[in-house]
């Protein structure tokens, strides 16, 4: 049964779509998607789903962690080094304490305008398409995001290196731009590495060469991150009768799993993932996602 999550190391210079297309060609599995876009400038963890795991992308933990380098003194159209330079300034003397003080406002729940060159849709069109046509608004619609932690790694002006743990929808490019505006210098993102996406970490990410090598060695199973590990859900062993009920869309009773409505479990039979289950108010569990080809494999 060829489905699951891949922890892919996206290289700098490729779009996330390019990486998906490459993995699709390498694995020869058409149904392939990713769980969180990275800009071409960025590199690092790109969670990918293959086969029926594509139905589970929305259940992946949504928090992310990044290492980023902010270049002060330069404003660009894209808020990173990829875009047209709009303004350049010579930096005045800025004490590290001033930078630390300016960063305080970007911790916790904050309001943020995403970059105009971004994948956000307005009226059914991506903002980056509108921007290329000269039809984008001056600012993207404001959104609320959460920055769980933000620490300074080093300051070597004009570069300020940071490490950020944040919620889904947070743009580090916007943070770079807004820090520059706060300091009165302008700023843009010069480097970005996604170090973690949910439970997937950079140290375990597979390069495209790694994936090709494992496919060539017919070692496809080693490509996959275990579903339970990727999603953070407990596994429950199912009886034959429970599996049959699940395949027919019926709720089942799970012994010892009462009192936690809304909790998710992964049902397993004979080592094969059968379904994603959701606990109901009455203590029973309904099948949320059923893996259709699991019936054959189990």
* DSSP 8-state secondary structure symbol assigned to residue 206: B
E strand residue ranges, the chain: 4-10, 32-34, 43-50, 64-72, 74-76, 85-88, 108-112, 121-122, 125-126, 143-156, 159-166, 187-197, 200-201, 224-225, 234-237, 252-253, 264-269, 272-279, 284-290
Question: CB within 8 A of 204, min separation 6: which ones?
Answer: 7, 225
CB count in 10 Å sphere of residue 293: 13
- Exactly one of 18, 39, 218, 219 is catalytic; which is it? 39
The CA-based diameter of the chain, rounded to the nearest angstrom, is: 72
Q: How far is Cα 290 from Cα 298, in angstroms, rounded to an integer? A: 13
Comparing CA positions, the residue from 34, 52, 41 lying closest to residue 13 is 41
DSSP calls for 102-122:
HHGGGSEEEEE---SSSS-EE
Comparing CA positions, the residue from 274, 283, 226 lying closest to residue 249 is 274
Tokens of 223: 């490509």
Q: Is 234 labeled as catalytic in the residue annotation? A: no
Active site residues: 39
């Amino acid at each position: 049964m060829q489905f699951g999550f891949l922890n892919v190391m996206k290289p700098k210079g490729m779009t996330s779509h390019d990486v998906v297309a490459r993995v699709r060609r390498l694995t020869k599995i058409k149904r392939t998607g990713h769980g969180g876009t990275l800009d071409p400038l960025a590199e690092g963890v790109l969670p990918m789903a293959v086969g029926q795991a594509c139905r589970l992308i929305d259940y992946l933990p949504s928090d992310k962690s990044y290492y980023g380098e902010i270049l002060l003194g330069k404003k660009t159209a894209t808020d990173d080094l990829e875009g047209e330079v709009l303004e350049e300034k010579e930096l005045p003397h800025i004490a590290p304490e001033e930078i630390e003080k300016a960063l305080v406002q970007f911790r916790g729940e904050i309001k943020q305008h995403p970059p105009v060159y971004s994948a956000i849709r307005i009226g059914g069109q991506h903002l980056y398409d509108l921007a290329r046509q000269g039809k984008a608004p001056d600012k993207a619609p404001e959104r609320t995001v959460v920055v769980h932690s933000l620490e300074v790694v080093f300051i070597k002006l004009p570069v300020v290196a940071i490490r950020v743990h944040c919620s889904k929808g947070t743009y580090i490019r916007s943070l770079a731009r807004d820090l520059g505006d706060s300091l009165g210098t302008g700023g843009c993102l010069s480097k970005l590495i996604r170090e973690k996406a949910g439970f997937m970490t950079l140290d375990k990410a597979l390069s495209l060469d790694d994936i090709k090598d494992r496919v060539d060695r017919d070692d496809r199973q080693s490509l996959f991150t275990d579903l339970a590990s990727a999603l953070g859900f407990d596994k429950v062993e199912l009886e034959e009768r429970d599996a049959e009920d699940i395949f027919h869309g019926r709720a089942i009773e799970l012994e010892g799993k009462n009192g936690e409505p809304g909790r998710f479990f992964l049902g397993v039979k004979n080592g094969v993932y059968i379904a994603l289950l959701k606990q109901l108010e009455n203590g029973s569990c309904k099948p949320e996602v059923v893996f259709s080809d699991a019936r054959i494999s189990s």
